[in-house]
């Protein structure tokens, strides 16, 4: 063997040793689990993205859910490679140009208790670079679709003008405020599994998971960019199936899964407008709470005892500051004050409780997963109806066009790609 070959073999060995020894303790050795047009996806990439999806969705930690989330994570990483390849073929500098933007978005979106988003994710055992890569992909893909189909987007101004005229004309008609999650069956998630995922998402949202955060990560619609928000929609312009579904559910609730055109749709009802007047779910409130912490395994007797104690203690409270102080005295890790939020953003049972509360009068004790809670309404402001701005309408119309074009073009990329995967 020549000296040059020996040196090459030595450096190759060093790389292998570095990769193997740099794997964290307890983690499986680095392996390639998929290839997309020759580009590798490792088990570490999939593990990290799956951990992120579990954090965002808060789905039940079952074997079936873990397996499906891992498949979804793999498909997401495959699609990201396809999106970046398509965009870089047009603009080789597009990824580098957007890395800092993506990092800032991660830091802003996942900031928590004074920590940047990157540090918060690391505390959760999630590599922030993996999440930043997803944000880069989303930004780059948005730029690419706008460039690729610029002719379609040139018509937006006239579309928005017509939409604004229609909104003014119909401002006195019944409207409903909605958010959506569109689940698109794919190579790793057939229709039956997509329906199962939809039902798991509903269960998770009912337990308190953020519908809009899940929409950003899972929805195939253009509205995913805005957390699934559809804004105010005329009820009589919705399909009969959707109208029937939203009539059955209360404000803050999520519909059962709807199947349309090969898609699975989840709708969250966030408010109703009758004759131009906002319903109470659109009131902006500030609310205080005290939580007496209990273990998840607490017995009914312990819950009743805690409810009796917190009811005695809150009988002495006269204002929201008293209730916040009581929450601190209980050693609760739950924030004692929620400021300036819409009543409709709470779960349906909590809305029913809060809407009937009088200012500065504590509620009856309620049992939650984290313990027994009492609420007090500090301030309530009725929201007057205002027509959406041109920017809001532009965003909504843009999302409609973007979602359709993005879905179709990504499907084309998948069909023409060489994809190898073990999952």
Per-residue pLDDT tens digits for 97-112: 999 999 999 999 899 8
Q: Domain containing 142 — which CATH number? A: 1.10.4030.10
Q: Same structural domain for residues 218 and 145?
A: no
In the predicted model, is pLDDT for residue 12 greater than 70?
A: no
**Domain membership flag for residue 386:** no
Q: Give the Cα separation of 43 and 32 in Å (integer).
A: 6
In the predicted model, is pLDDT for residue 15 greater than 50?
A: no
For residue 400, how many C-alpha atoms fall within 13 Å in the half-sphere facing its CB?
12
Q: What is the DSSP letter of 357?
A: P
Q: Residue for token digits 């780059």? A: 140
Tell which of 279, 302, 335 closes a domain: 279
Q: Same structural domain for residues 129 and 47?
A: yes
Nearest to 243 by CA among 178, 309, 314, 300: 178
**Domain membership flag for residue 115:** yes
The string of pLDDT tens digits covering residues 186-216 is 888 899 999 999 999 999 998 888 899 899 9
**Domain membership flag for residue 298:** yes
**Both structure tokens of 211:** 């519908």
Tell which of 236, 251, 279 closes a domain: 279
pLDDT for position 277: 56
**Domain membership flag for residue 387:** no
Tell which of 226, 260, 279 closes a domain: 279
Q: Give the Cα separation of 368 and 288 in Å (integer).
A: 16
**Domain membership flag for residue 61:** yes
Q: Same structural domain for residues 224 and 200?
A: yes
Q: Which domain holds residue 138?
A: 31-171+393-423
- Cβ atoms 153, 398 nearer than 8 A: yes
Q: Same structural domain for residues 54 and 93?
A: yes
End-to-end CA distance of the chain: 40
- Cβ atoms 402, 224 nearer than 8 A: no
Q: Give the Cα separation of 384 and 279 in Å (integer).
A: 10
**Both structure tokens of 369:** 């997963």
pLDDT for position 388: 77
User: Residue 309 to residues 293, 304, 305, 329, 373: CA-CA distances in angstroms?
Assistant: 12, 9, 6, 13, 11
Query: If DSSP codes are grouped into helix, strand and coil, which group holds residue 298?
Result: coil
pLDDT for position 200: 94
Spell out the alpha helix ranges (H) of 149-239.
150-153, 156-169, 191-206, 211-218
Please compute the mean of the pLDDT values over residues 268-286 and round it to a whole number.
77
Mean pLDDT of the chain: 87
**Left, alpha or beta for 323 (phi > 0: left; psi -120 to 50: alpha)?**
alpha
pLDDT for position 275: 61
The string of pLDDT tens digits covering residues 145-169 is 999 999 999 989 999 999 888 887 8
**Domain membership flag for residue 388:** no
Vertex 234: Cα angle to 150 and 259 (nearest 5): 75
Q: Same structural domain for residues 329 and 355?
A: yes
Q: Same structural domain for residues 146 and 179?
A: no
125 or 348: whose pLDDT is higher?
125
pLDDT for position 296: 83
Please compute the mean of the pLDDT values over residues 298-319 and round it to a whole number.
91
pLDDT for position 278: 59
> For residue 279, what pLDDT band results from cuts at 50, 70 and 90?
low
Please compute the mean of the pLDDT values over residues 278-295 and round it to a whole number.
86
**C-alpha R_g of the chain:** 25
Nearest to 33 by CA among 44, 19, 22, 20: 44
User: Residue 331 to residues 74, 233, 294, 302: CA-CA distances in angstroms?
Assistant: 41, 44, 11, 17
| Sheet strands side by side (includes 39-42) | 39-42, 32-36, 419-421
Q: Same structural domain for residues 35 and 155?
A: yes
pLDDT for position 211: 92
276 or 246: whose pLDDT is higher?
246
Which contacts qualify for 2-10: CB closer than 8 Å, 24 or more apart? none
pLDDT for position 423: 60
Q: Same structural domain for residues 265 and 359?
A: no
Nearest to 147 by CA among 224, 99, 87: 87
Q: How many domains does the chain have?
A: 4
Q: Domain containing 269 — which CATH number? A: 3.10.50.40
Q: Give the Cα separation of 246 and 318 in Å (integer).
A: 39
The string of pLDDT tens digits covering residues 23-81 is 444 456 889 999 999 999 999 999 999 999 999 998 888 999 999 999 999 999 999 99
Q: Same structural domain for residues 47 and 119?
A: yes
pLDDT for position 234: 83
pLDDT for position 8: 43
Q: Same structural domain for residues 372 and 421?
A: no
Q: Same structural domain for residues 63 and 119?
A: yes
**Domain membership flag for residue 46:** yes
Residues in the chain, overall count? 423
Phi, psi (deg, nearest 5) at residue 33:
-110, -10
Q: Same structural domain for residues 40 and 161?
A: yes
- Cβ atoms 333, 112 nearer than 8 A: no
Q: Give the Cα separation of 316 and 76 in Å (integer).
A: 53
> For residue 129, what pLDDT band results from cuts at 50, 70 and 90?
very high
């Amino acid at each position: 063997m020549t000296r040059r070959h020996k040196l090459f073999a030595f450096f190759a060995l060093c790389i292998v040793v570095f990769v193997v020894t740099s794997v964290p303790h307890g983690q499986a050795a680095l392996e390639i689990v998929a290839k997309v047009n020759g580009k590798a996806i490792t088990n570490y990439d999939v593990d990290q993205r799956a951990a992120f999806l579990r954090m965002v969705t808060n789905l039940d930690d079952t074997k079936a859910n873990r397996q499906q989330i891992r498949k979804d994570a793999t498909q997401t990483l495959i699609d990201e490679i396809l999106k970046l390849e398509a965009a870089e073929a047009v603009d080789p500098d597009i990824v580098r140009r957007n890395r800092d933007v993506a990092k800032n978005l991660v830091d802003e979106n996942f900031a928590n208790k004074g920590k940047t988003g990157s540090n918060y994710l690391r505390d959760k055992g999630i590599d922030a670079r993996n999440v930043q890569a997803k944000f880069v992909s989303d930004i780059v893909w948005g730029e690419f679709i706008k460039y690729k189909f610029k002719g379609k987007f040139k018509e937006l101004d006239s579309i928005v003008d017509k939409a604004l005229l229609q909104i003014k004309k119909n401002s006195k008609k019944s409207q409903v405020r909605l958010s959506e999650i569109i689940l698109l069956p794919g190579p790793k998630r057939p229709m039956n599994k997509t329906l199962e995922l939809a039902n798991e998402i509903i269960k998770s949202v009912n337990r308190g998971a953020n519908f809009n955060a899940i929409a950003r990560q899972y929805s195939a619609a253009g509205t995913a960019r805005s957390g699934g928000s559809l804004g105010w929609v005329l009820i009589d312009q919705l399909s009969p199936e959707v109208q029937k579904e939203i009539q059955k559910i209360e404000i803050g609730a999520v519909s059962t899964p709807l199947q349309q055109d090969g898609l699975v749709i989840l709708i969250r009802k966030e408010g109703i407008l009758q004759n131009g007047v906002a319903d109470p779910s659109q009131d902006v409130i500030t609310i205080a709470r005290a939580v007496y912490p209990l273990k998840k395994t607490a017995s009914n007797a312990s819950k009743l005892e805690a409810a009796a104690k917190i009811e005695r203690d809150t009988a002495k409270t006269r204002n929201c500051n008293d209730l916040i102080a009581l929450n601190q005295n209980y050693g609760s890790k739950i924030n004692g004050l929620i400021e300036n939020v819409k009543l409709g953003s709470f779960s349906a049972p909590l809305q029913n409780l809060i809407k009937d509360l009088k200012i500065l009068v504590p509620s009856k004790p309620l049992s939650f997963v984290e313990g027994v809670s009492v609420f007090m309404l500090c301030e309530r402001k009725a929201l007057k109806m205002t027509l959406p701005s041109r920017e809001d309408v532009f965003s909504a119309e843009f999302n409609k066009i973007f979602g359709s074009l993005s879905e179709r073009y990504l499907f084309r990329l998948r069909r023409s790609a060489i994809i190898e995967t073990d999952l």
